[in-house]
């Protein structure tokens, strides 16, 4: 049987649970970060089935085909096809660039102890919102025609949407599990 641990040793081992910290002596810091076990955690990512390399290979193939057809028409005297083909490729380039910029977007929602943490990376910008678990509620906005309902966490006048990249079935599962995790206080 192990001897009983002092408060600093218990906190360092993760055996002390709760948001309590004490300053026992000058060697132990006054503010101690005590680890919590995650009660609930869900991560949402976009499906990037092609990857960056595959996306640009398809773009190159489409450019080759489009300019090849445009050059064939220009050879027969329909030279106005070339500028339209170039315009088409510029628009396609912008679309592929937008898709590439958002391909690595993700969201993570975790309920840890008395905190609800929403982390999100959208177009390379990382944001983090933290709420008090007791004051946080989950709302489901009605979906517009053809769109699934949107989830949002609300607390202290702040509203953070979550789960835009989830399917309808995944969104229902997350809603049930998250409501259960928020209610278990």
Whole-structure pTM value: 0.64
How do residues 132-151 score in pLDDT, each as one tens digit? 998 999 988 776 776 777 88
* Interatomic CA distance for residues 13 and 15, integer angstroms: 6
Is residue 148 within 8 A of residue 108, CB to CB? The reply is: no
Q: Are residues 94 and 123 in the same domain?
A: no
Structural domain boundaries, residue 156: 38-47+105-183
Q: Are 153 and 131 in contact (CB under 8 A)?
A: yes
Write the CATH number for 173.
2.30.29
12-38: pLDDT as tens digits: 333 333 333 333 334 434 343 434 455
Mean pLDDT to the nearest integer, 72-99: 94
Number of folded domains in the chain? 3
Residue 175 CA to residue 142 CA, distance in Å, equals 14
Residue 171's contacts (CB-CB under 8 Å, 6 or more residues apart) are: 148, 149, 151, 163
Q: What is the predicted pLDDT for the residue at 120?
A: 92
């Amino acid at each position: 049987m192990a001897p009983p641990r002092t408060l600093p040793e218990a906190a360092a081992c993760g055996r002390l649970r709760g948001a309590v910290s004490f300053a026992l002596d000058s060697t132990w810091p006054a503010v101690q970060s005590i680890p919590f076990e995650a009660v609930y955690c869900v991560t949402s990512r976009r499906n990037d089935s092609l990857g960056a390399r595959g996306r640009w290979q398809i773009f190159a193939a489409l450019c080759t085909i489009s300019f090849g057809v445009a050059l064939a028409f220009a050879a027969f005297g329909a030279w106005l096809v070339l500028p339209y083909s170039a315009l088409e490729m510029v628009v396609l380039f912008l679309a592929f660039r937008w898709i590439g910029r958002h391909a690595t977007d993700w969201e993570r929602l975790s309920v840890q102890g008395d905190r609800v943490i929403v982390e999100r990376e959208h177009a390379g910008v990382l944001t983090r919102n933290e709420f008090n678990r007791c004051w946080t509620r989950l709302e489901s906005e009605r979906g517009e025609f053809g769109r699934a309902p949107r989830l949002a966490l609300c607390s202290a006048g702040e509203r953070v949407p979550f789960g835009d990249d989830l399917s309808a079935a995944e969104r229902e599962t997350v809603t049930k599990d998250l409501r259960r995790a928020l209610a278990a206080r």
